[in-house]
Structure 1
Amino acid sequence: MTERVITPRSRGFLFLDAHPGGCERLVEEMWRSVPTPDTEPVARPDGAPVALVIGSSAGYGLAATVAGLARVGIRGIGVCFEKAPGRRTGTAGWYRTAATARLAREHGRDFVFVNGDAFTDEVKERVAELVAERFGGRVDHLVYSVAAPRRTDTDTGEVYASVLKPIGAAHTTKTLVFDADAAPEVKEVTTEPAEGDDVARTTAVMGGADWRRWVEFLERRNLLAEGFGTVALSYIGSPLTAALYRQGTIGAAKAHLEETARSLDERLSKSVGGRALTSVNAAAVTQSSTAIPGIALYVGLLRGVLGEEMVAPVDQAVELWDRLTGARPLVRDEEGRVRLDGWELDPAVQKAVGERWARATSANVAGLADLDWFGDEVRRLYGFAVPGVDYGAAVEVDVAWPESAR
């Protein structure tokens, strides 16, 4: 037993430790927030649908895992890459995974987790073996939600690192920072444009290459169920952040992801009567998004405009699962994408956020953006600022990874 009091310490938006109790309660809150479906899922003679969630421990991927378990009753496997407790606490995703596994077990869901680099063939092989041995040799759904800074090409051994840069010209944007006393400050930052093979390398990491490899890997082993469907989770965002995001190197990667969806959709339609698509999720505070200049200010302003009308990632995931399982119509946009971001990109909402963005300064930002909410959301990513947790009490940090076999 290794109990200690966990004090939040951070460098900007990056926290050095995570709180196990806070992470656990956060997952419990997510699970409880998932509404009971209006109708019972259609009974299957071969059991509940088998799903793989690649990137299951954080952000949209965690939301998709919890919503799938609580709403649909999926069984299957979550894949993530988290660090075990040691000199420091485990990563927040380590503790969130342990909590998700416990809730799944308590609710009778047969869902297990593999900890490892999803880009590698070794992890794909471990997952394929589990599918064959434990889940009847078939996968019904694959949700892909991987946000990583780098990827090693398993064929060549080359390491690709992604970059966050505009394309064509440098871009200056407002961004939100906090000083040592947690006072909000609006600054302008300039990001130099992509050069050389920056776009190609970012696309290699964050585009559709690994998603395709997952599908093809399972297909070669005859593990795709008839009617198999796969979805990659994505984001478009506001015109206010477009130059650095959707029109930048990451945007090029997202465009490749969408191209991959179209080619996979055609392939799966012919091979198993299946489909592939991208889901455009809406804004949220995630460990990945806080690293992008301008996003913190934008999301804070968006919350200032919408308040409680913002749609949490788990609620977005509920809507996605309803569409994937036929509980709601599977409507796609002209590019073939599922859109969960209509509330964010509503013209009236964007107009109000844009007006606040233009006016925002260090002196007035607290009155324009919901900074208390934003700060708490960042802390909650690491298990802090979760109501009902006694942060003055010692907590067990040496939490075991959930068992992956009966």
Structure 2
Amino acid sequence: MTERVIDRPRSRGFLFLDSHPAGCRQLVSDMWEAVPAPATPPPADGPVALVIGSSAGYGLAATLAGLKRAGIRGIGVCFEKPGSARRTATAGWYRTAATAELAREAGRDMVFLNGDAFSDALKEQVADLVAERFGGKLDHLIYSVAAPRRTDPETGTTYASVLQPIGAASRTRTLVFDGEGAPEVKEVRTAPATEEDIAQTVAVMGGADWERWIDHLAGRGLLAEGFSTAALSYIGSSLTEAIYRKGTIGAAKAHLEGTARTLDKRLSELVGGRAVTSVNGAAVTQSSTAIPGIALYVGLLRGVLGAQLVPPTAQLSELWDQLTGARPLDLDAEGRVRLDGWELTPQVQAAVAERWQRATTENIAELADLDWFHGEVHRLYGFAVPGVDYAAPVATEVAWPQEPA
């Protein structure tokens, strides 16, 4: 097995070309430890769950929190690339291997499938697993997919999502780092989306694929009585709304919420079930760092809140408590679970807005927690993780968790 030293990442802005196997493993272990243990250990035959988008961001947090706090067993779905003698695997590949190991140690039967979640072939593979390995009934489904494009299985049409405002061009402040890690605050202008841009983004990031998953599983008779499903979402601050909530992604999120209402009614009639969107708070994820303005906003938010910023594992632990009935569903007027209250209080938003207006390249280190933010971006790929020896050689070819025969 080929080993090599990966002491520093190659990157283009917030896009990293390498990941570190040992760092990803340690990161997953740290996240696992951060999940609050339940008051009563969950039974060995816990609820059967499907997590779509299980290898990164809030989907990874949902998987780890579900395993440890809710005692789930079931299936995680993601789309990752393996390593080779020349290149590392994607960070999600290594994170999945580490998650599978923790699941085994906890005695949880968790299968991880690597493939296109938008395809009907993978939906059928998952349905077969539920039928043959997990008793034929699914209790929960978490949908957490952030993708740049989607091919419709019925038509073969490929749609591409864009990050653009709707109606007029927007100017927003954003934060970038140079190759040496020096920060710069600058303003970026983004042209408005066309109607076609909006439609394509909704086709990728809206509720169409989530609904298709539910239709497929229901058509096979695999939804348990009381089945619940949650699609993970975000609303965010007025500071970023032009490019996010009022932009193309926001249109897709609105479609996702409309889909939740449709599914909720259908599932209630079909199996006494529920469908909700879960509005999570801000976090540094591989998808969020691509959105103009989000890096500056999250860095300033951390500067205001410090350690009071609620990590994804804590938020998803709360979601699992609500989905499993440990606590009642706490919904807003639109029928959404809200896990972002800590972020959107008037006091917090006023403090972040004041810093947003004052932020310059010269003073940003005083207003935002740059060390934390820069470290969080690196940790997404397994770098800057405490306790990891980056001078030691590591094997880049890590096996995918064993799939069922």
**1:301 aligned partner:** 300
Q: For 1:144 and 1:58, locate their aligned partners in 2 and report how far apart those are by CA, in whole Å.
A: 12
1:286 aligns with 2:280: no
**2:276 aligned partner:** 277
Moved over 4 A (4+): none
Q: For 1:40 and 1:399, locate their aligned partners in 2 and report how far apart those are by CA, in whole Å.
A: 31
Spell out, residue by residue over 1:9-64, the C-alpha distance to the aligned partner (whole angstroms, 9 max, x if none): 111111111000000000011111112212344x69xx310000000000000000
**1:153 aligned partner:** 152
1:181 Cα deviation after fit? 2.5
**2:5 aligned partner:** 5
Spell out, residue by residue over 1:198-236, the C-alpha distance to the aligned partner (whole angstroms, 9 max, x if none): 111000000000000000000000010111110000000
Spell out, residue by residue over 1:255-303, the C-alpha distance to the aligned partner (whole angstroms, 9 max, x if none): 0000000000000000001010000000000000000010000000000
**1:26 aligned partner:** 27
Residue from 57, 62, 65 that aligns with 2:60: 62
Spell out, residue by residue over 1:94-136, the C-alpha distance to the aligned partner (whole angstroms, 9 max, x if none): 0000000001001100001000010000111111111111001
Q: For 2:195 and 2:63, locate their aligned partners in 1 and report how far apart those are by CA, in whole Å.
A: 38
Q: Secondary structure of 2:239's partner? A: helix
Percent identity of paired positions between Structure 1 and Structure 2: 73
**2:177 aligned partner:** 178
For residue 311 of structure 2, what is the amino acid of its counterpart? A
For residue 378 of structure 1, what is the amino acid of its counterpart? V
Q: For 1:189 and 1:103, locate their aligned partners in 2 and report how far apart those are by CA, in whole Å.
A: 42
Alignment of 1:7-406 (within 5 A): 7-41=8-42, 47-86=45-84, 87-405=86-404
- Segments of structure 1 that go 5 or more residues without pairing to the other structure are none
Spell out, residue by residue over 1:152-174, the C-alpha distance to the aligned partner (whole angstroms, 9 max, x if none): 01010000000110000000000
Q: How many residues align?
A: 403
- Segments of structure 2 that go 5 or more residues without pairing to the other structure are none
TM-score, length-scaled by structure 2: 0.98
Q: For 2:373 and 2:4, locate their aligned partners in 1 and report how far apart those are by CA, in whole Å.
A: 27
Q: For 1:198 and 1:14, locate their aligned partners in 2 and report how far apart those are by CA, in whole Å.
A: 23
Q: For 1:50 and 1:26, locate their aligned partners in 2 and report how far apart those are by CA, in whole Å.
A: 25
C-alpha RMSD over aligned residues: 1.0
For residue 80 of structure 1, what is the amino acid of its counterpart? C
1:339 Cα deviation after fit? 0.2
Q: For 1:404 and 1:268, locate their aligned partners in 2 and report how far apart those are by CA, in whole Å.
A: 30
Q: Secondary structure of 1:79's partner? A: strand
For residue 32 of structure 2, what is the amino acid of its counterpart? W
Q: For 1:241 and 1:112, locate their aligned partners in 2 and report how far apart those are by CA, in whole Å.
A: 37
Spell out, residue by residue over 1:129-156, the C-alpha distance to the aligned partner (whole angstroms, 9 max, x if none): 1111100111000000000000001010
Q: For 1:286 and 1:180, locate their aligned partners in 2 and report how far apart those are by CA, in whole Å.
A: 20
In the superposition, relative to structure 1, how do residues 40 and 391 fare at CA in structure 2: closer, same or farther (>3 Å)? Answer: closer
For residue 26 of structure 1, what is the amino acid of its counterpart? L
For residue 81 of structure 1, what is the amino acid of its counterpart? F
Q: Secondary structure of 1:389's partner? A: coil
Q: For 1:91 and 1:39, locate their aligned partners in 2 and report how far apart those are by CA, in whole Å.
A: 36
1:396 Cα deviation after fit? 1.1
Q: For 1:195 and 1:257, locate their aligned partners in 2 and report how far apart those are by CA, in whole Å.
A: 20
Q: Secondary structure of 1:277's partner? A: strand
Q: Secondary structure of 1:251's partner? A: helix
